[in-house]
Amino acid sequence: MPDMRFYFPDSQDQIDPSFDFETEERSPFRIRQRDDRYAHEVLSPPPYSGMLVSKAMVDGVSGAAGRYSAQQRQRLYREGVREFFRLNGENIDTLGDCGAFTYLREDVPPYSVDEVIDFYENCGFDAGISLDHVILGFDLDAGLDGDGVEPEWKRRRELTIDLASDFLTRHRERHCVFEPVAVAQGWSPQSYAASVESLQNLGYARIAIGGLVAQKTDEISKVLATISAIRESETRLHLLGVTRCERIPEFATYGVTSFDSTSPFRQAFKDDRDNYYTLDGSWVALRVPQVEGNAKLQRRILAGDIDQALARRLERNALGRLVAFDRGETDVESVVTALREYEALHDETRDRREAYRAVLEAAPWRDCNCEVCSTAGIQVIVFRGTERNKRRGFHNLHVFAKRLERELATGGALV
């Protein structure tokens, strides 16, 4: 069975090694592009085997700027993707895509096929995904035609196949060196299978399955099982934006050899409960928001409902108790009390004392040997500001890689 590769989509997520948790200050000599570190520079071994970079993220869409500054964009084009992300010497693949979800409300993609190829060639990607258009609908029982199949769904599927055909033609005419990857879009297992069959007939050996991010795991399995019936033995599938770690061995039996997702990273600061991964579960992060950085708290202060000096005092007390606990200088209850006193101001509708008590008693960061937990200690599980939150995201990537390795070994796949 082929190797399974996990690609991490870039969103310019880095951490500053000079950040001081107690003073919350940075080195005055810090230069972000030179000094800040990506996850693959912090964690050993790297927690992913590939990086996915979106043209929409770099260049923007329809006149709107992307996440890259003008200087970053210029440097990426000038240095190339491997130099930009400091991947030289690392066994990490690079995959370019268009960022179709950023323009899903448009009638047609905002880029031309040649503009997309220019991005992949100029930046030196190992592989590049053809231009596509996401279908805004899903019906497990629908066919290619008939009741319930929207004309717009059909148009977008056909457009995506036509664009893939043009992409492959121009790839050959321009003698491109990156591997061409097509996208299959659909609204049902049958429509996805029909798309894959058409793309195989065009000559594609690697096909990304798009538009399944919001679908239930069993629905994804049915799509893949249907595709499997017509998939040629040499065709490799990539799942766009889909994680489902526990089902990856099953997906591998259907021909999936790679997938990408930001979910492990984003759960660190987007989820209400599952913020800090362990091999067999997850924990809530300890919320100590910055007084000046919490919009809800600031509104209450400006309205006169909360005294700003009190808020700052409770904030500093919570942080101080956390540090003291990590040093063995205070007990769990004193930390829970401090966290609760501050929580009553910044999130008065919640009471997380039970969850906080459980995570403090378990102290999972002490059992983790990743570089983040080893250096940050209890700060890795504090929900506060980008430096702590992204470090927790890096830790989650480390654990996700371990989970994936375990699932694949248990499922009989090779890693």
**Residues marked as catalytic:** 97, 260
Burial bucket for residue 388 (CB in 10 Å: 0-12, 13-18, 19+): buried
243-245-249 Cα angle (round to 5): 115
Q: CB-side exposure of 103: number of CA atoms within 13 Å?
A: 26
User: Structure tokens of 387?
Assistant: 């430096």
Distance between CA atoms of 361 and 251, rounded to whole angstroms? 37
β-sheet bridge partners, residue 404? none
332-346 helix and 308-326 helix, angle to the nearest 10 degrees:
150
Query: Residues for the chain: how many in total?
Result: 415
Residue 370 DSSP code: S
Contacts with 131 (C-beta within 8 Å, 6 or more apart), sequence order:
98, 109, 111, 112, 113, 116, 160, 163, 164, 167
Q: What are the E-state strand segments in 290-415?
A: 382-383
The residues, ordered by sequence, that sit 6+ positions from 272 with a Cβ below 8 Å of its Cβ are 284
In angstroms, the CA 323 to CA 21 distance is 10
